[in-house]
């Protein structure tokens, strides 16, 4: 078994930081402050299991258009029509979604940037801190923004990956306020992925689809939205619909329900509201989801401080892929479980505020706990 260690490798023009513990082997890239790899130790079979969908080649990571693992921001998620009003002034931001809306911060957003890094290694933790300065009017967003992403594992809990986000507007910023929604866009496949070695395997073997993954979520409401994911402002009860994961069920059970899911290609691409989240306790960690693979027996629990979690089953990936460069992953070969703020918050006054002002610090956290269990333990 490996002990705790951190090492840095070259990754194209940037770096790859590998964080190893007895239970996890993680890799994080300076490009996009991204999760590049998460391997879980399966003691029963004496093997490491890759559960994160990403790229080994930095050129492929740079060319990625599906947000395979990076930090997205400064305002990730949707902003309708690429406009919002802040303190009485209308703001116009990059419209990179069908030329109409803004998604994940714009066309040249946080996922495309090389972040600075600082190794975290102490008696308590091992990990890395990434930092980025986003200038005033970057992608149209007002205010200079200093952002940080911390990935770390506590030595006392080697199977738990912590992700913490923070951001603030410095005193010298030309504007005093902006909107912030920074989170990670990792794709998971708890069944395990074949070896991702581009040099030895120019054609990657496709992993088992995530249709068998059992997902349980304490979410009784979904954000009502149009086919672009732009919300109406209403929250709908999920009772009796295919979006009700409160008792747990395989992702494939209702993934073809076009009448409810309203996605083409069909699948999950929906923001669910976390039960129990309160504005007065907005930094409290709550359980967002439990996912389990009956194939690998790997379980992942997701906790966060965010008010919602977006479920996306990689519907927009091609149905048939070669496995070669540019076609590494096919449809439904990964699932995103993305804690975040509700979509289009700047235009939805009834949703929790995402406005950050000078003198404040924006903070959120995600925790992923991995276990190998004998059954689902849902």
Contacts of 217 (CB under 8 A, 6+ apart): 245, 246, 272, 288, 289, 290, 309, 311
Q: What average pLDDT score do residues 137-144 get?
A: 99
Residue range of the domain that includes 38: 5-372
Q: What average pLDDT score do residues 201-218 get?
A: 93
Share of the chain above pLDDT 70, in %: 97
For residues 161 and 370, the answer to whether their CB atoms sit within 8 Å is: yes
Checking if the pLDDT of 12 tops 80, the result is yes
How many Cβ atoms sit within 10 Å of the Cβ of residue 9?
10
Question: Does 267 reside within a domain?
Answer: yes
Residue 193: name the closest of 335, 371, 15 by CA.
335
CATH number of the domain bearing residue 17: 2.70.98.10
Tokens of 92: 């116009």
Q: What average pLDDT score do residues 159-186 get?
A: 99
Q: What average pLDDT score do residues 299-319 get?
A: 97
Question: Does 140 reside within a domain?
Answer: yes
Question: Does 201 reside within a domain?
Answer: yes
How much is the pTM?
A: 0.96
Tokens of 190: 């708890």
> Sorting pLDDT into bands at 50, 70 and 90, what band is 227?
confident
pLDDT in tens, 69-126: 999 999 999 999 999 999 999 999 999 999 999 999 999 999 999 999 999 999 999 9
Question: Does 378 reside within a domain?
Answer: no
Question: Does 377 reside within a domain?
Answer: no
Checking if the pLDDT of 200 tops 80, the result is no
* Cα–Cα dist 251/208, whole Å: 13
Per-residue exposure over 288-321, b if at least 16 CB sit within 10 Å of its own CB, e if not: bbbbbbeebbbbbbbbbbbbbbbbbbbbebeeeb
Higher-confidence residue of 250 and 2: namely 250
Write down the pLDDT at residue 348: 97
For residues 79 and 68, the answer to whether their CB atoms sit within 8 Å is: no
Q: What average pLDDT score do residues 11-25 get?
A: 98
Question: Does 112 reside within a domain?
Answer: yes
Q: Of 34-43, 98-107, 190-199, 337-346, which range is least confident?
A: 190-199
Write down the pLDDT at residue 153: 99
Q: Of 25-39, 88-102, 199-213, 286-300, which range is least confident?
A: 199-213
Write down the pLDDT at residue 259: 81
Contacts of 88 (CB under 8 A, 6+ apart): none
* Cα–Cα dist 261/341, whole Å: 21
Write down the pLDDT at residue 350: 96
Write down the pLDDT at residue 2: 58
Tokens of 181: 């929604």
Question: Does 354 reside within a domain?
Answer: yes
Checking if the pLDDT of 222 tops 90, the result is yes
pLDDT in tens, 99-115: 999 999 999 999 999 99
Contacts of 127 (CB under 8 A, 6+ apart): 6, 19, 119, 120, 121, 150, 151, 152, 153, 162
pLDDT in tens, 333-350: 999 999 999 999 999 999
Where do we find the tokens 């002990």?
3
For residues 311 and 242, the answer to whether their CB atoms sit within 8 Å is: no
Higher-confidence residue of 266 and 9: namely 9
Question: What's the structural domain count of the chain?
Answer: 1
Write down the pLDDT at residue 265: 87
Tokens of 196: 């991702």
Checking if the pLDDT of 308 tops 70, the result is yes
């Amino acid at each position: 078994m490996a002990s705790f260690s951190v090492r840095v490798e070259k990754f194209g023009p940037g770096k790859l930081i590998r964080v190893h513990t007895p239970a996890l082997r993680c890799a994080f890239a300076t490009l996009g402050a991204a999760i590049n790899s998460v391997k879980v130790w399966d003691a029963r079979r004496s093997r490491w299991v890759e559960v994160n969908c990403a790229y080994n080649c930095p050129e492929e990571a740079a060319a990625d258009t599906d947000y395979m693992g990076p930090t997205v921001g400064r305002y990730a998620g949707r902003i309708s029509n690429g406009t919002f009003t802040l303190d009485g002034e209308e703001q116009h931001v990059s419209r990179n979604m069908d030329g109409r809306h803004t998604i994940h911060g714009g066309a040249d957003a946080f996922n495309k940037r090389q972040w600075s890094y600082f190794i975290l290694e102490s008696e308590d933790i091992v990990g890395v801190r990434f930092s980025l300065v986003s200038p005033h009017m970057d992608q149209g967003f007002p205010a200079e923004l200093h952002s940080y992403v911390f990935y770390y594992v506590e030595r006392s809990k080697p199977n738990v990956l912590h992700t913490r986000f923070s951001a603030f507007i410095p005193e010298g910023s030309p504007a005093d306020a902006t909107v912030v929604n920074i989170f990670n866009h990792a794709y998971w496949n708890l069944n395990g992925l074949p070896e991702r070695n581009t040099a030895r395997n120019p054609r990657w073997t496709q992993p088992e689809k995530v249709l068998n993954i059992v997902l349980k979520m304490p979410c009784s409401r979904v954000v009502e939205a149009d086919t672009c994911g732009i919300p109406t402002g209403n929250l709908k009860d999920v009772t009796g619909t295919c979006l009700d994961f409160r008792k747990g069920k395989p992702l494939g059970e209702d993934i073809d329900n076009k009448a409810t899911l309203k996605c083409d290609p069909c699948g999950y691409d929906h923001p669910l509201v976390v039960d129990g989240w309160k504005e007065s306790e907005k930094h409290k960690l709550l359980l967002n989801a439990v996912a389990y693979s009956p194939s690998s027996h790997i379980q992942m629990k997701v906790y966060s401080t965010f008010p919602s979690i977006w479920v996306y089953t990689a519907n927009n990936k091609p149905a048939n892929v070669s496995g070669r460069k540019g076609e590494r992953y096919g449809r439904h070969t990964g699932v995103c479980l993305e804690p975040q703020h509700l979509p289009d918050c700047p235009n939805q006054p009834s949703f929790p505020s995402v406005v950050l002002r000078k003198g404040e610090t924006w903070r959120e956290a995600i925790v992923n706990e991995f276990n190998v269990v004998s059954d689902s333990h849902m």
